[in-house]
């Protein structure tokens, strides 16, 4: 609960150039500012200094009164609890473009399909990391949104099923813009990496967003993705949990 960070301070800790750059990824939103726990799709860029920031981040929350999904631009450069970020200088250059449509295999998560492909190519002994975005162009996918923090009497969650009972799950139609960070492997678990993390929001502005899980079976013939990724040159692990 005490873990709140400024994303520009995280950029400094990642040795990023204050002259130009950006961050994107997936994490928890600035609950002290929003007023409750929420999901965050961080997306910021800066020019000239870390004080000149364009903030295109979105947060997704569950309204405490109506239980409705609410998505809006984040009013803050803060994030909380945990976050996975990909940093880029923002200069033109080659990218990895991936397009896919009509799922035929057993893997139902587009992000995990990419990650498993990396793992198959590079194995367990090294880490290949990607960051970027993908658009769910057509079809429907499942997402979760954290509600507000549970009461202390309901903590701790001892089993995964307890966490799943607390989370809210939603099926949203395309188009959805998804910001993603993924790693082929964490050799020996030494870095304690979250191996894949993707947060999304509606590209057309509707109240839809959250943590991406997978596309749905009833739209497997219609599902279509378009992705743009780049490789990470360095991994920074900040404030690793004990």
For residue range 46-91, what is the model confidence (pLDDT) as tens digits?
A: 999 999 999 999 999 999 999 999 999 999 999 999 999 999 999 9
Residue 236 lies in a domain: no
Judged by DSSP in three states, 163 sits in helix
Say if residue 242's pLDDT is above 70. no
The rounded distance, in Å, linking the Cα atoms of 130 and 228 is 10
Q: What is the CATH number of the domain that holds 189?
A: 3.30.1330.80
- Tell me the pTM: 0.95
Domains held by the chain: number: 1
For residue 95, give its domain range: 4-231
Q: Establish if 16 belongs to a structural domain.
A: yes
Task: Judge whether residue 3 has pLDDT over 70.
Answer: yes
Q: Which residues contact 197 (CB under 8 A, 6 or more apart)?
A: 25, 26, 27, 84, 180, 181, 182, 211
The answer to whether position 238 is within a domain reads no
In a domain, 239, yes or no: no
Residue 196 has pLDDT above 70, yes or no: yes
Confirm whether 178 is domain-assigned. yes
β-pairing, 129-138 with 39-41? unpaired
Q: Is residue 141 part of a domain?
A: yes
Q: Is residue 29 part of a domain?
A: yes
Kindly report, residue by residue over 91-141, the tens digit of the pLDDT.
999 999 999 999 998 999 999 999 999 999 999 999 999 999 999 999 999
- Give the pLDDT confidence of 136-180 residue by residue, as tens digits: 999 999 999 999 999 888 888 989 999 999 999 999 999 999 999
Of 200, 213, 196, give the one whose Cα is nearest residue 174: 200
In 3-state terms, what secondary structure has residue 218?
helix
For the residues 200-205, what does the mean pLDDT come to? 95
Residue 102: inside a domain: yes
């Amino acid at each position: 609960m005490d873990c709140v960070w400024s994303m520009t301070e995280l950029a400094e800790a990642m040795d990023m150039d204050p002259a130009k750059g950006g961050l994107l990824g997936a994490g928890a939103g600035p609950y002290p500012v929003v007023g409750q726990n929420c999901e965050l799709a961080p997306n910021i860029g800066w020019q000239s200094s870390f004080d000149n920031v364009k903030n295109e981040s979105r947060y997704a929350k569950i309204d405490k009164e109506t239980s409705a999904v609410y998505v809006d631009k984040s009013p803050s450069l803060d994030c909380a609890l945990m976050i996975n970020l990909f940093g880029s200088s923002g200069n033109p250059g080659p990218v990895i473009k991936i397009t896919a449509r009509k799922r035929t295999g057993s893997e139902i998560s587009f992000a995990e399909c990419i990650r498993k492909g990396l793992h198959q190519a590079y194995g367990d002994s090294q880490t290949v990391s990607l960051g970027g975005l993908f658009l769910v162009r057509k079809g429907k996918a499942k997402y979760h949104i954290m509600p507000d923090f549970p009461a202390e009497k309901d903590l701790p969650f001892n089993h995964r099923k307890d966490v799943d009972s607390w989370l809210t799950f939603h099926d949203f139609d395309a188009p959805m813009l998804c910001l993603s960070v993924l790693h082929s492997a964490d050799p020996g678990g030494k870095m304690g990496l979250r191996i894949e993390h993707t947060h999304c929001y509606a590209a057309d502005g509707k109240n839809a967003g959250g943590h991406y899980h997978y596309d749905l079976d009833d739209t497997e013939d219609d599902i279509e993705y378009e992705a743009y990724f780049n490789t990470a040159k360095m991994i920074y692990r900040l404030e690793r949990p004990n």
